[in-house]
Structure formats: structure tokens, C-alpha cells
């Protein structure tokens, strides 16, 4: 079956503009995670969804970042008033449940460049 | 707060040589440890997890709680093992919705 998909694959924007990143998880996966990977660094957690609710949003770096998930499927990550330090690869992952031992299945990522 | 350290950003070995990718962690509870791998032009994928105690593609990793380590080992490296390897930790069964904390990764190159 289809894996996790993300769109767009690349996004170039100007500083101060808003961007919206999309994630389509594997069908039936209730847990969904967003991570960010800056150049040369490891992945950093942003937010976790269980179903449509977000019990852990502690990784969002500022109030310019928000995310939502609808219908236990698609999730969107919105960054308002983008800054150059927001440039990174944004990765989405889904998992059958929120259990800690579950494998997380990753999407290909969205490469965001803020000029 | 939990933390994962991979001390080597780059590791280069020859084909057929043993390889060990180091991973140390800090966490006060009982963590779940994972190794994820990203081959060139592919997405990040799970290689193995300590709870499964399995060998995948000849790789093994043992959780050493005394040394807080989860080193990845393979006795005879192959060229197709060249990839970026990430060690990751989740908080374990006392919590749900467990996000992963990643190390910065080790780029392994296996030379012919």
C-alpha cells in the first residue's frame, strides 16, 4: 500500500510569508508526528497527533507554528511570517498507535527554504 | 529531558571490516531505543529496535543500561550499508504518544 506522502516536496518562500505543509499518513494510522531537520542536525520533534487531537505540541518552536489534523487523516503544518531560521526539511511520520514501541513510518519530507 | 548522542558524524570502513556505530543516551526512565537508517535518495526507515532483539541485514544492537548505550554493530560491512544512521529514543511504556528524540546521525561509508 501507499506510504506516508507529503506535499509540496520543495517550497521556496520569502521571509514574512505564510506557508502550509501537508501530510497524508498511512490509512488507519491514528498517530501522526511532525519533525524538523535543519541542515547537518538530527530530527527535532514538533507535534504529535492522536486522532484529531494534539496531546503533545511541546516541540513547536514559537506561536508562528501551528498544526491541525482532520478526519484522522490529513494533517497540515502552518508557519506564519516565515523567518530564515525556519529553513529546514519538515518530516511527517505516522504510526498505528501512539504506543512507544511502534515503528514510525516517515514521509519523504518537504524542503522549506526561506529567502 | 532525554538526549541522544552519536559521537561520530562520519565513519568510513572497508568492505568486510567490522563496523560499530556508537549511540549513548540520557533518560531517567526506561526508554525504548531504535536505529533508523536513510539510504541515498530514500526516506528514513526503521532498521531495528531493542525490544525486538532481532538482527536486521546483519546488524545488531544491545541496550546497555549500565553504560546507557545502544551501539549498532555488524561483523562484516557491505557497500550497500553506506547510509546515514540515526539512533532514537522514546520514553517507553509509561507514556503514550511517544515522540522520538534523535541523535544527529552518523554517515557510514563502506569502501570497496
CATH number of A78's domain: 2.60.40.10
Measured CA to CA, the distance from residue B2 to residue A71 in angstroms comes to 32
Identify whether A115 is part of a domain: no
- Structural domain count, chain A: 1
| pLDDT bracket for residue B56 (50, 70, 90) | confident
Among B4, B45, B90, beta carbon nearest to A106: B45
pLDDT tens-place string over residues A23-71: 999 999 999 999 999 998 889 999 999 999 998 899 999 999 999 998 7
Rounded to an integer, the average pLDDT of B39-49 is: 94
Residues of B with Cβ-Cβ distance to A106 under 8 angstroms? 36, 43-45
Contact check, Cβ <8 Å, B93/A44: no
Yes or no: is domain B3-111 CATH 2.60.40.10? yes
* Window 70-99 of B, Cβ < 8 Å to A: 86, 90-93, 95-99
The residue of chain A with its CA nearest to that of B106 is A42
| pLDDT bracket for residue B54 (50, 70, 90) | confident
Measured CA to CA, the distance from residue A97 to residue B27 in angstroms comes to 23
Amino acid at each position: 500500500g501507499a506510504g506516508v506522502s507529503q506535499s509540496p516536496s520543495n517550497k521556496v518562500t520569502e521571509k514574512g510569508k505564510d506557508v502550509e505543509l501537508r501530510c497524508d499518513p498511512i490509512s488507519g494510522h491514528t498517530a501522526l508526528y511532525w519533525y524538523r531537520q535543519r541542515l547537518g542536525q538530527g530530527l527535532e520533534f514538533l507535534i504529535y497527533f492522536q486522532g484529531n487531537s494534539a496531546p503533545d505540541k511541546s516541540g513547536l518552536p514559537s506561536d508562528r507554528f501551528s498544526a491541525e489534523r482532520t478526519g484522522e487523516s490529513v494533517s497540515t503544518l502552518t508557519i506564519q511570517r516565515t523567518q530564515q531560521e525556519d529553513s529546514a526539511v519538515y518530516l511527517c511520520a505516522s504510526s498505528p498507535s501512539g504506543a512507544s514501541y511502534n515503528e514510525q513510518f516517515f514521509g519523504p519530507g518537504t524542503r522549506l527554504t526561506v529567502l | 529531558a532525554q538526549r541522544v548522542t552519536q559521537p561520530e558524524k562520519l565513519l568510513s570502513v572497508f568492505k568486510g571490516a567490522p563496523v560499530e556505530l556508537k549511540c549513548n543516551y540520557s533518560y531517567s526512565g526506561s526508554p525504548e531505543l531504535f536505529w533508523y537508517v536513510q539510504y541515498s535518495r530514500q526516506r528514513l526507515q526503521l532498521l531495528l529496535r531493542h525490544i525486538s532483539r532481532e538482527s536486521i541485514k546483519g546488524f545488531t544492537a544491545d541496550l546497555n543500561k549500565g553504560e546507557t548505550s545502544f551501539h549498532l554493530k555488524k561483523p562484516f560491512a557491505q557497500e550497500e550499508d553506506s547510509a546515514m544512521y540515526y539512533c532514537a529514543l522514546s520514553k517507553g511504556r509509561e507514556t503514550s504518544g511517544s515522540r522520538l528524540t534523535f541523535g544527529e546521525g552518523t554517515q557510514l561509508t563502506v569502501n570497496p
